[in-house]
């Protein structure tokens, strides 16, 4: 069976196409081996409208993957479940934790607006799991905490608050004839940590493309330059920095890696 992959960006921070809308969020629709999938749902303000205007029927989607529990990736799930109540939801169980961001006024809630009990078809992705032939969820990424922890993000419950360990930060990877295609949510566990874990899982298979958020808006040049050298080592065919990657990092990637980097926005389509 030919492993052909088509992706369409339904939610991102920028848009250049008429009649489509942008938001601070991420959602990528993809078709693979005659099945339809969604990776993240954005904040929920644009998902349904952009899908309709892109000719995508959300009722036909088989599975939605949630990369982590922040509302700019899970906010559209409630509307999606209203449209497609039996859709299979793949996520780490910690996606339902109460998540907050530290701001000047205190703590701002940025977690999911649903409980696990609101989902009738939930698949826990604590470890690497195949959602279908050729489509894999990484499960929890083991990584040294010093390499990724960010004190701005916390989880809270009746016992108090703590820095979010982001155990729910998962990604997916897809086998294509060109090689492995990786979809990143926000990369809270660290871009290198995530990709290296996937490389270990796929062995000598080529990493052909990386799409998604890399959480580099506050990153310094040293960190960005380190990633540039890392991507050169990977010898990617395609790199699509999105959402929380930040404009500075995305432009520096483009300057260093040339045509390998595509500065995409809502409505853009890719075929691999």
pLDDT digits 0-9 by tens, 17-72: 999 999 999 999 999 999 999 999 999 999 999 999 999 999 999 999 999 999 99
CA 95 to chain centroid: 13
**What is the CATH superfamily name and number for domain 5-271?**
Ribonuclease Z/Hydroxyacylglutathione hydrolase-like (3.60.15.10)
Question: What are the boundaries of each domain within the chain?
Answer: 5-271
* Residue % of the chain over a pLDDT of 70: 99
Which pTM was predicted? 0.97
Q: What is the pLDDT of residue 1?
A: 45
pLDDT digits 0-9 by tens, 150-195: 999 999 988 889 999 999 999 999 999 999 999 999 999 999 999 9
pLDDT digits 0-9 by tens, 100-115: 999 998 899 999 999 9
């Amino acid at each position: 069976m030919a492993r052909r992959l088509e992706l369409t960006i339904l939610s991102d921070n920028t848009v250049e196409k008429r009649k489509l809308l942008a938001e601070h969020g991420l959602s990528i629709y993809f078709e693979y081996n005659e099945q339809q999938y969604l990776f993240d749902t954005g904040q929920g303000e644009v998902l349904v409208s952009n899908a309709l205007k892109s000719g995508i029927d959300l009722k036909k989607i088989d599975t939605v993957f949630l990369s982590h529990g922040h509302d700019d990736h899970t906010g559209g799930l409630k509307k999606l479940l209203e449209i497609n109540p039996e859709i299979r939801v793949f996520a780490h169980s910690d996606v339902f934790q109460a998540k907050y961001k530290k701001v000047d006024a205190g703590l701002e809630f940025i977690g999911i607006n649903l409980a696990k009990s609101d989902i009738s078809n939930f698949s826990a992705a604590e470890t690497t799991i195949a959602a279908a032939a050729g489509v894999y969820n990484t499960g929890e990424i083991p990584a040294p905490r010093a390499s990724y922890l960010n004190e701005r993000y916390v989880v809270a419950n009746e016992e108090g608050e703590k820095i979010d360990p982001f155990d729910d930060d998962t990604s997916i990877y897809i086998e294509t004839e060109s090689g492995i295609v990786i979809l990143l949510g926000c990369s809270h566990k660290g871009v290198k940590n995530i990709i290296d874990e996937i490389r270990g899982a796929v062995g000598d298979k080529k990493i052909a493309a990386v799409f998604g958020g890399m959480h580099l808006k506050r990153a310094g040049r040293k960190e960005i330059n380190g990633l540039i050298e890392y991507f050169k080592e990977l010898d990617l065919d395609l790199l699509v920095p999105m959402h929380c990657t930040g404009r500075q990092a995305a432009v520096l990637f483009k300057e260093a890696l040339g045509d390998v980097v595509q500065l995409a926005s809502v409505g853009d389509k890719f075929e691999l």
